[in-house]
Structure 1
Amino acid sequence: MTTTTLPTSTFSSTRTLLTCGILAGPVFVATGVVQGLTRAGFDFTRHPASVLSNGSLGFVQITNFLVTGLLTIAAAAGIRRVLPGRWGPRLLTGYGISLLCAGVFRADPQDGFPAGTPAGPPSSISWHGTLHFAAGGIGFLALVGACFAIGSHLAPARAWYSRLSGLLFLAGFAGVASGSASPAVTLGFWAAVVVAFTWLAATSTYLLSRGEAR
C-alpha cells in the first residue's frame, strides 16, 4: 500500500477529516432508522430513506442528507491527503455532492407515506423528484467507483474488502433501480447503504489507526 507522509502541521486537521468518514454512516443510518421507527406510515419493507424528507418532520431527513453529504466530502478530502490516487477521493466527493442534492431536491411521497398518501408509486414524478433520482443514480455509481479506486491503493485484503463493498452496494442499487417494490429489494437496499457506510468508516479508521495521516 502506498501512502503519503504529511507535515506535522496538517496532522490534526487530517485526523478530523478522516473522523468525518467514521461518523458519516452512523449519523445517516441512525437518524434514518429512528425516523422510520417513529413516523406514522413508514415501513422499512416498502420505503427508502428518501421519502422521509416529506411531511411535517421532513426537515429532519433533509438535514440528515445535508450533514452526511458534508461529512462524506470532508472524508474524501482526508483520504486524498494520505493516499496517492486522485480518482477515489474525487468519486467519493461526487457521492457527497449527490447527498447534498438529495437533501435539496426532495423525493416524492409514495406508497402510503407520509400518512394519507395513496398506495403504490406516485402517479406522476415532480421535477424535484426527478432531480433527486438523477442525483442519487449518479452518486451511487460514483460511490461504487470510489470503492474500487480507493481500494486499489490499500493492502490486498483491504483492497478486496473495498471491491466487495462496492459490488454489494451496486447489487442493492440495481435492485431498486429495476423498479421492483419487493420487500426483499427494499430491505436489500437498506442493507447496501449500511455496507457502503461501513466501508467508509472502516477505511477511515484503518488510515487513522495505521498513522497514515502523519
Structure 2
Amino acid sequence: MEWVRGDVRGVVVVNVLLWLGALGCWLFIATFLLDGWTRPGYRPVRQPVSALALGPRGWLQGANFIVCGLAITAGAVALAGALDSPLLALLVGVFGASVVASGVFPMDPMRGYPPGTPEGSPAEFSTRHTLHDWAGVAVFGLLPVAAAVAAFVLPDAGWQWYSGLTAGAAFVGFLAFGTAWERDSPRAGLVQRVTIAVGWLWLGAVFAYATG
C-alpha cells in the first residue's frame, strides 16, 4: 500500500500547486482593484496597475506582483501533468516569472503619479523601467498565446470555446492598451484593467479546472 499513499500525496501536492496558481490570479486582481480604489492621488481609469508600485504604499503592489507571480509559476509546474500539455505549462510558467519581474523592476514615476510628478512621460527612462516594459510585453503577450494553446488541448468543448474567446479578447485588449498608453489616453488604465481581468480570471479558472 506504500505506492498508494505515495500516489495520494502526489495528487495532493499537484492540487495544492494548482490552487496556488488560481488564488494567485484572483488575488492579484482583487488587490490592485482595492488598492487603486483607495490610493490617494491615484486615478485608476487613467493610470496603469504598475503605477501602484510607486509612492509610500507602493510596496503593496510590488508584493502583489511578486507573490502572485510566484504562485502562478508554482501552479504552472503542476499544469503540465494535470492537463497533459507541457507547452501550456511552459507558457504559463514564463508568464508567472514575467509577473515577478514586473514587481522586481518597477516603472518610473510619470503622468502625474505619484502626486507631484510632472504630467507626461520623462525624456529618458531608467534601466529598471525598460526591464519593466519588457516584462509587461511578456505578460500581456503570453496570455493570449496560452489561451489559444488551451483552446486546442483542453478536452471539454465549452472550455475550448472559452479559451479561444479569451485568446482573442486578450490579444485585442493588449493592442488597445498599447495604443491608449502611447496616446496618453485618459482611459488607458481602464482598458488595461479590463484586459487583465479577462485574461487572469480565465487563467485562474483553468487552474481550478485542472484540479479535477
> TM-score higher than 0.5 here?
yes
Aligned residue for 1:36? 36
Amino acid at match of 2:160: A
Q: Please state whether the residue corresponding to 2:153 is helix, strand or coil.
A: coil
Aligned residue for 2:140? 140
Does residue 59 of structure 2 align to residue 62 of structure 1?
no
1:205 to 189, 203, 208: 208
Aligned residue for 2:177? 176
Q: How does 1:88-99 map to 2 (within 5 A)?
A: 88-99=88-99
* Cα deviation, residue 185, structure 1: 4.0
For the 8 Å contact 2:47–2:188, the answer to whether it is kept is no
Aligned residue for 1:101? 101
RMSD: 1.6
Aligned residue for 1:3? none
* Cα deviation, residue 123, structure 1: 3.1
Structure-1 separation of matches of 2:88 and 2:82: 12
Q: How does 1:1-214 map to 2 (within 5 A)?
A: 7-154=7-154, 155-178=156-179, 179-208=182-211, 211=212
Higher helix content, 1 or 2: 2
For the 8 Å contact 1:89–1:150, the answer to whether it is kept is no
Q: Please state whether the residue corresponding to 2:161 is helix, strand or coil.
A: helix
Amino acid at match of 1:96: G
Unaligned runs of 5+ in 1: 1-5
Unaligned runs of 5+ in 2: 1-5
Q: Normalising to structure 2: TM-score of the pair?
A: 0.90
Amino acid at match of 1:102: S
Q: Normalising to structure 1: TM-score of the pair?
A: 0.89
For the 8 Å contact 1:25–1:194, the answer to whether it is kept is no
Q: 1:184 to 1:37 in 2, by over 3 A?
A: closer
Provide Cα deviations, 1:60-96, integer angstroms capped at 9, x if missing partner. 1111000111111112112112112211110111110
Equivalent pairs, count? 204
Structure-2 separation of matches of 1:184 and 1:53: 19
